[in-house]
Amino acid sequence: MNVVIDTNVIISGFLNSRGLPGKIINLLFNERINLLFDNRILAEHKDVLSRDKFGFNRDIIDPLIDYINKDCIYVISNPILESFNDEDDKKFYEVALSGNADYLITGNIKHFPKDQIIVTPREFLEKVI
């Protein structure tokens, strides 16, 4: 199953490994789901994870970025014309559409258009477990 994971889910998963986003990260690392990404998404993940307010050290960030680079699916996305309230979220939707993702998992579902592939962590886990 191919998914795009919004940065907010990645952050939440590392902050609380027992929560729903943490379960999604576990599915990823246990190769039960395949992550789709592009350079923009990878850069955002790295940038946000590196922010001091989260307190993650390089021992957490670097292995994740290496894992994504080596073991996940790189997608060359097609731009979409649709306007987003938060244009930074558009890249996740573009990769999801271009990569034929089964799901785009986000904690900010209201930032995205209505589309059956866009789900919260809870909705995703209810569908796959």
Banded model confidence at residue 129, pLDDT cuts 50, 70, 90: confident
Q: Please state whether the predicted TM-score (pTM) of the whole model is above 0.75.
A: yes
For position 53, what pLDDT does the model report? 96
Pick the closest to residue 40 from 83, 81, 79 (CA basis). Answer: 79
Residue 83 in tokens: 């306007």
For position 74, what pLDDT does the model report? 98
Residue 21 in tokens: 């986003």
For the chain, domain boundaries = 2-128
Please give the Cα distance from 27 to 31 (Å, whole number).
Answer: 6
Q: What sign results for the dihedral spanned by CA atoms 18, 23, 24, 28?
A: positive
Q: Class for domain 2-128, per CATH?
A: alpha beta
For position 19, what pLDDT does the model report? 97
- Cβ atoms of 12 and 107 closer than 8 Å: yes
Torsion of CA 57, 60, 62, 63, to 10 degrees: 160
